[in-house]
Structure 1
């Protein structure tokens, strides 16, 4: 069973800001992916959903879907990247397979998949 340990998840606001400000961004209709290398935050991942998406229940559902997409595909991601996934308004109400396809598409664009 693949796990996503809490030690690999971004928690601090300053870390989110660093990845957002200095990372390269890739986007599609459902997600925005920020990728940062050589930052001291290697192999960490963060998930964000702004208040424009809706209430807390809606935002948490979008974050759960993004977390699950990352968790199931984390073995395919190259080492040395810090990743921030941000949900967009159109991701609200979508099923897992749609979000996973969007994540995999962004990962291919960003060339973070290897192995």
Structure 2
């Protein structure tokens, strides 16, 4: 009864959904890249964090792009408690992510967050 289970949810209000939101982050954000992904970061004043996931058509078919976005989403979901609040993020998959597994995706995501200075 005394066991505390940590919730790793990704509620809808924490996701960027509109194209306008993505474009604002692309335009005014600072980007950090590695072989697997690109992370765009924009500081916010309201203290909340939102994230969007993207995979361009160059990566392949819709099946491949959706898999890349699922990997990015899961890497974020499992590590979101390590990231500071008050930022908007867009995480874009690159070609190397097509062949990656979850462990590699999570390592790449945490590397980008460390370089961006948003890890707690």
Query: TM-score, normalized by length of structure 2?
Result: 0.90
**How many Å apart are 1:39 and its aligned residue?**
6.6
Aligned residue-pair number:
114
Q: Tell me: CA distance 1:10–1:48, structure 2 relative to 1, closer, same or farther (3 Å).
A: same
Following TM superposition, by how much is the alpha carbon of 1:38 offset from its aligned partner in structure 2, in angstroms? 2.3
2:99 counterpart SS class: coil
Q: Is the 8 Å Cα contact of residues 41 and 82 (structure 1) preserved in structure 2?
A: no
Check 1:41–1:83 CA distance in 2 against 1; reply closer, same or farther (3 A cut).
farther
- Larger CA Rg, structure 1 vs 2: 2
- CA shift digits 1:10-31 (9 cap, x unpaired): 0000000000111000000000
How far the C-alpha of 1:42 sits from its partner, in A, is 3.8
List gaps (5 residues or longer) in structure 2: 1-6
Question: Unpaired runs of 5+ in structure 1?
Answer: none
Name the CA shift for 1:39/1:60 in 2 (closer, same or farther; >3 Å). farther
CA RMSD of aligned residues (A): 1.4
The DSSP-based 3-state class of the residue aligned with 2:90 is strand
Runs of 4+ with >4 A deviation: none
Distance change >3 Å, CA 11–CA 39, structure 1 → 2: farther
Question: Which residue of the partner structure matches residue 66 of structure 2?
Answer: 60
The correspondence for 1:93, drawn from 67, 85, 99, is 99
For 2:46 and 2:26, how far apart are their aligned partners in 1?
15
